[in-house]
Chains A and B, each alone.
Chain A
Amino acid sequence: MKTIRTLGLGLLLAVFAFFMSLLFMGHYKLSSATFEHLITQNNISSQVFIKTMKNSSVDYDFSTPFYLANTVAEAVETANAYHKENKEWDQVIWSKPHSLAYQIVKSSGQGIVVQNKFLLWLLSFGLAIVGALLFMLPAINLKGPAGIKNNHIYHSSATNRGWIAWIVFAFLILFYLVLYFRPSYMINWIYIVDPISESLSGNPASQWFLYGFLYCVIMTLMAVRMYIKYRHNKYQTLRTTSVLFFQIVFAFLIPEILVRFEKPWYDFKNAFPLDYDFFFSWNLNELLESGGFGLFILVWGIVLTLVIVPVMVYFFGKRWYCSWVCGCGGLAETLGDPYRQLSSKSLFSWKVERWLVHGVLVFALVMTGLTLYGYFSETYKVLGIKVQTLQDVYGFLIGSIFAGVIGTGFYPIFGNRVWCRFGCPLAAYMGVIQRFKSRFRITTNGGQCISCGNCSTYCEQGIDVRAYAQKGENIVRASCVGCGICSAVCPRGVLKLENGPEEGRIGSPTLLLGNEMDLMDQLQDK
């Protein structure tokens, strides 16, 4: 068993090295025909750009995608600087330099990678899946009988902020930076998922397709780990199945298939304000132009946020979304599970959390409000602020940096729910409802708590669960996503997630810590 595990790890590392080396394979040649086509497609009229490109790039052979991408981006910037100086506004290229670079690089690949997409997919994704399974499956036997086996989590450098954690951290940060800001650098990874994308939507893959596909593969593999680790716990296995289902079907398959039928790409479970660009004018226009189906999406999106979300939170707590449906939550509960103990439990973090997460919610609402005002009054400037600028700032700071780079990149350092706890505006919205108007609570089982601290340690949201449990109080907190791990790791059966009557949900009832006087009070109460 141990040998199989080592073998799996070896294979995984080898495939990872190969996957990284893929980035440097192949060569890149932008033919003049392709160039002309892209120029027309993007409505580029800048002669400066076209001339620079013809001199530096078109029909040249590049050995890496990085050099070609940078050359294109530079050409865009030089041309724009020239046009802006001469106030030739109609010639300025409005696409972001690296978005255009991505399009050009994607159309220029030559050689080994573009010719062997499927084979290279098998050698990378295929073998990685095999390696991961070989590594994980023996845990059924190696880690002993079913039950909570958190042994050595704080002895391992991967899960205790050791050197492995820092390497993973650096890799994740780099991955997200490249994904958001230099997608052409990972062009070869995108090529190898082209066949899958084409079979689903009919289009070649984009970096977002690669990301979505990778997301599903990683979630599935780490869900296998969850099934093994929590095979004694039905709440955990059902919850894992649910997040996996919603990610694969709702966030990945349905949107791709919609595109195949020339409908707008839409993730039906992604609720505003997490889906922050739902009310952006380009999205509203696209939906309104897509006929009855677009209108349906528009109505659904509004009903989801204003009716379904609050009603569900009332009955089940925000867990119905955060740890059963959401994609961000899904990754956190699978890939992020080994890191849940790293979230800070200090009172200071709780203060930061409240300011930050509600701040983001306010930012999202103000931005959306101004956007809608601008949309209906057909102006691009509201209260002296350019709506576009506000959207760009939000998209960059919150959408990319906070949710992606920090949200996932910091898994190995600050735990798996950094985004959900400190940044997600939808979580903030649901948190307010959960705190003040919901049937959900974590019930403390009378006086059984021994203050051991397993619950607090393994709370991914940094809630000091023990502080409530040892006083016999129920846990009612805005940030609780109801993952149920506190209850799972409790050695004395003290915690239970449940939806009950609102009455007596919050506060410190005269609960029996064992002292008879309190009990008498309580009995007289009945």
Chain B
Amino acid sequence: MKNLDSIFWAYILGWAIFFGFFVSIAKRSNDLRAEVDRLKRSLGNSQEK
């Protein structure tokens, strides 16, 4: 049924957008966390000096 196709695509695309948004947040969070570790390490090093 053609109409079911349209509904299927609407749901899939919609959920893909929400999922993509969530994944982008998660990725940016991970990158930030890595940078926090890097910064904390370099701060730790400079404090030891």
Whether A and B are associated in the same complex: the answer reads no
